[in-house]
């Protein structure tokens, strides 16, 4: 794959309102965007979306930028690899973790292949997995902890989400913000027929918060997402036996190695697949194969990313076995009207089309120029 030029941008998209989880608060979505150009003028785009502080993972935006500038992009330029999987292998040599940084480059290489072959990421991913991707995916809403910690605010958000057509409601929980919001959500959702899930982002400890988790277990939830810290593989496997409600893994599922351990332990069988947390689409393919063998039920999570990074998540969500609504939401939900660099839209019945073209074909170039700042340019010459 002849890459002639690599551009690195910082993309800044203000959020409509703060998004609060158990570990921290986000008011502006800053991420890094890698743009590749080959000798035929084709362009591939990839997003690296770690947070600025390490409340979700150990990786930060500043660390990802440094690694991209000084290690990963120069290595890509020197590489003579011919496909995304080979690039993924090259990026891992001597680099532990740093999945978000690697994903920025790796997904851009996938998109460059899509541009060269005049197709979309979903078609490429389905081709590699030997499956036929779906043409639409179901969308679920992810509601953060209200800044005012008011269940009335949460009820209002849920009313709006139901009216907009979302196919699943998810609320963020934390010790001290769990029983009351779940009860409020249940009341607000009465008669809707929609499933309710909660996401703790690793905010609980076992057995310290056993009573909290037992109460959640009685709340008729579709699943409880990431109740314990990310390194609690054994703890999450134990919760499968302790609780009736299915346990869903997010931060714990960081790569195929973790997936194999989950299988060996007989752990949770609901998996949140986040492309950038896994390091890119090549690792998604490896985890997907393990999940299918284990019988895990999948869905696609987001950070959330901009419309650029969401293209990879949409591709993953289109694969058979992704049975639950994803966290992919219309751009207006996070950034307001006409603010995202690729506009994501949702139908009135809560579905989103899976793109059949590369990212460059869908990018709002003018909006990207307004929201992105060029950081570095690397030439392959």
Which residues are designated catalytic?
A: 172, 274
Measured CA to CA in angstroms, residue 69 lies from 73, 95, 107, 309 at distances of 6, 14, 16, 19
Nearest-10 crossing angle of helices 179-188, 210-217? 10
* Beta carbons of 201 and 22 less than 8 angstroms apart: yes
How far is residue 163's CA from residue 155's CA, in Å, rounded to a whole number? 12
* Beta carbons of 342 and 365 less than 8 angstroms apart: no
* Beta carbons of 104 and 312 less than 8 angstroms apart: no
Among the listed residues 326, 267, 272, 271, the one whose alpha carbon sits nearest the alpha carbon of residue 296:
271
241: burial class by Cβ within 10 Å (0-12, 13-18, 19+)? exposed
Among the listed residues 70, 196, 89, 92, the one whose alpha carbon sits nearest the alpha carbon of residue 142:
196
3-state DSSP assignment of residue 279: coil
Q: What are phi and psi of 326, to 5 degrees?
A: -85, 175
| Structural tokens at position 247 | 């346990």
């Amino acid at each position: 794959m002849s890459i002639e030029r690599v551009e690195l941008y910082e993309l800044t998209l203000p959020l409509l309102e703060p998004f609060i989880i158990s570990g921290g608060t986000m008011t502006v979505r800053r991420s890094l965007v890698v743009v590749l150009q080959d000798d035929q003028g084709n362009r591939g785009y990839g997003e690296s979306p770690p947070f600025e502080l390490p409340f979700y993972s150990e990786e930060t935006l500043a660390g990802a930028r440094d690694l991209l500038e000084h290690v990963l992009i120069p290595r890509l330029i020197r590489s003579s690899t011919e496909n995304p999987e080979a690039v993924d292998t090259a990026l891992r040599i001597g680099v532990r973790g740093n999945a978000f940084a690697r994903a920025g480059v790796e997904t851009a290489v996938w998109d460059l292949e899509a541009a060269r072959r005049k197709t979309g990421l979903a078609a490429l991913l389905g081709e590699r997995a030997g499956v036929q991707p779906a043409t639409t995916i179901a969308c679920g809403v992810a509601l953060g902890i209200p800044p005012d910690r008011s269940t009335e605010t949460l009820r209002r958000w849920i009313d709006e989400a139901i009216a907009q057509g979302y196919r699943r409601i998810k609320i963020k929980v934390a010790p001290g913000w769990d029983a009351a919001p779940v009860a409020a959500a249940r009341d607000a959702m009465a008669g809707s027929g929609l499933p309710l899930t909660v996401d703790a982002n690793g905010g609980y400890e076992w057995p310290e918060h056993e009573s909290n988790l037992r109460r959640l277990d009685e709340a008729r939830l579709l699943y409880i997402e990431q109740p314990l810290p990310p390194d609690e593989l054994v703890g999450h496997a134990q919760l499968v036996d302790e609780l009736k409600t299915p346990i869903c893994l997010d931060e714990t599922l960081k790569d195929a190695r973790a997936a194999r351990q989950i299988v060996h332990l007989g752990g949770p069988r609901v998996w949140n697949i986040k492309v950038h947390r896994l390091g890119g689409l090549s690792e998604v393919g490896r985890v997907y194969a393990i999940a299918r063998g284990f019988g895990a039920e999948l869905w696609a999570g987001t950070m959330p990313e901009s419309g650029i990074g969401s293209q990879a998540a949409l591709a993953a969500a289109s694969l058979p076995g992704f049975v639950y609504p994803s966290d992919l939401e219309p751009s207006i939900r996070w950034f307001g009207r006409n603010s995202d660099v690729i506009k994501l839209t949702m139908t009135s019945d809560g579905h989103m089309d899976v793109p059949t073209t590369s990212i460059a074909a869908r990018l709002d170039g003018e909006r990207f120029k307004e929201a992105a700042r060029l950081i570095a340019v690397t030439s392959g010459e």
